[in-house]
Amino acid sequence: MKPYLWDPWATARTDPDRVAVIADGEESTYGDLTGRADALARGLRAHGIADGAIVSTDIPTGPAFFALALAALRHGFGLFPIDPDLLALPAGPSLLASVATAAHISAEPRAGGPALPCPVLTDTELTARAARAAGADGADGADGADGASASVPPPAAGRLVFATSGTTGLPQAVARARPRRPYRGVAVLERYGAGAGRGPHLMANPTYHLGTLGPALYALQAGSAVVVQRAWSCGAFTELADRHRADSVMLSPDRLIDLVGTGEAPHHPFRVVLHGGAACPPAVKRAAMDLFGPVLHEYYGTSKGVITEIGTAEWLARPGSVGRPLPGIRVEITRDGRPLTAGETGDIGIRLRAADRDPSDADVLRTGDVGHVDDEGYLFVLGRAESPREIRMARLEHDIRLLPGVTDAAVVDGAGDEPVCFVEHGDGSTFPDPVTAIEATADLLELPSPRTVLASSGSLPRTPSGKLRRADLVVLARSAPDDAG
């Protein structure tokens, strides 16, 4: 299908009563959502927030949040969604300060927690401010049918700011480049299973991470309703998917592991199951294909955006790959600044499209990951590493994920030079002991004899986006063996 541009205001014009967002007992139509987005934008302007300025929010994912996100994208503001738990940490306010946040938008007046480096407003205060400003200005201050003032040219589109996962330490705020042109919506592509003629997108990871928020925001702009599952359980997931006849879903690997463990899929088949955000062991991915059908679509990227994608058929031909770069993006593999050939493992760098780069960005952005590309340009990611020893440990971690029954793995430094291998696995009664294979691989990689810590699936510490929290695993690795599991 040829892609076409679409946005929520187009859906509101053609079908204003179409449901846009559902979250628990909350529901909003496209007409309501776009009207609310326009009002929030007027409220931000009335409050003195300048064009292009960044505002943060901890509003829970749902109608109010998506209205604020659309207000930012269409009316030229930056939006930094930040998890309330992260904001409550001593380092939380410094994240807002690092991107010069002009105001923080909350659902309720803020009570407790560290002081923020900017004014705090509620979304209801913004809409009330907008109404007062419209009343004072009269008809000349009203928005047109498309949400823009008839006498003022539309601003350049807004942008999003994300906090990194913080798997290896403290999260960092990363601002995406602001587009130079007015907001035009998204190019609706068949492979994402979203659009005005499609069923809802099920947001089963209701976090602010790019990997989970991005697909939901895309689906909403393309014309699909978004159903938010705020409390995770496999039973609730299948019930929501069947009740709303969802056509697309994004699942982090830990969610895939849970669902594969139950062996139960919704009766209504998905058109596409998106997954990404962390490495997915091949055994888990194959089981997910058996459960959902040949509809898995994996992506790899950074807080700057998606870098590569791969569909089911491509992956089956190249198990373990995360795909080839999207048009206009280049992936480069280097070691000590030297370009490497296909098959050689090195640092993964990316050259973004010109439209996605900020003036302050380097020509080649380092991802912090290591991997290689094959002869056809398909990327294989081993993990995060800096030194030659860390690269060997990343290779060990990658090979552990290939072992039978392994559902996730992480290799970190223990006391001294001892590698500690944390290995999650499925059914303990049928799981083959991996220690001999791990020790043999470590020996081939010239690593010291490792210590292996076995854990049941889903029991190791993870970030809200589903990644293993390596900083916590390092603490466990350097404790006494009995304390580590």
Question: What phi, psi does 132 have (nearest 5°)?
Answer: -65, -40
Distance between CA atoms of residues 324 and 326, nearest Å: 7
Token pair belonging to 319: 């198990």
SS3 content of the chain, % helix, strand, coil (to 5): 30, 25, 40
Distance between CA atoms of residues 147 and 140, nearest Å: 14
pLDDT for res 442: 94
Token pair belonging to 361: 């960005």
Q: Residue 228: helix, strand or coil by DSSP? A: strand
CA angle 18, 70, 216 (to 5 degrees): 70
What predicted TM-score, i.e. pTM, was given to this entire model?
0.88
Distance between CA atoms of residues 421 and 477, nearest Å: 9
pLDDT for res 331: 95
Mean per-residue pLDDT pooled into runs of 10, the chain (485 residues): 84 97 96 97 95 96 97 97 88 93 92 86 91 66 46 87 74 88 94 94 86 93 97 95 97 90 94 90 91 96 88 94 94 92 92 80 85 94 84 90 89 89 82 92 93 91 82 85 50
* CATH H-level superfamily of 397-477: ANL, C-terminal domain (3.30.300.30)
Distance between CA atoms of residues 165 and 468, nearest Å: 10
Instruction: Map out the domains of the chain as residue ranges.
Output: 4-230, 397-477
CA angle 106, 111, 112 (to 5 degrees): 120
Query: Which of the listed CATH numbers 3.20.20.450, 3.20.20.210, 3.30.2010.10, 3.40.50.12780 matches domain 4-230?
Result: 3.40.50.12780
Q: Residue 433: helix, strand or coil by DSSP? A: coil
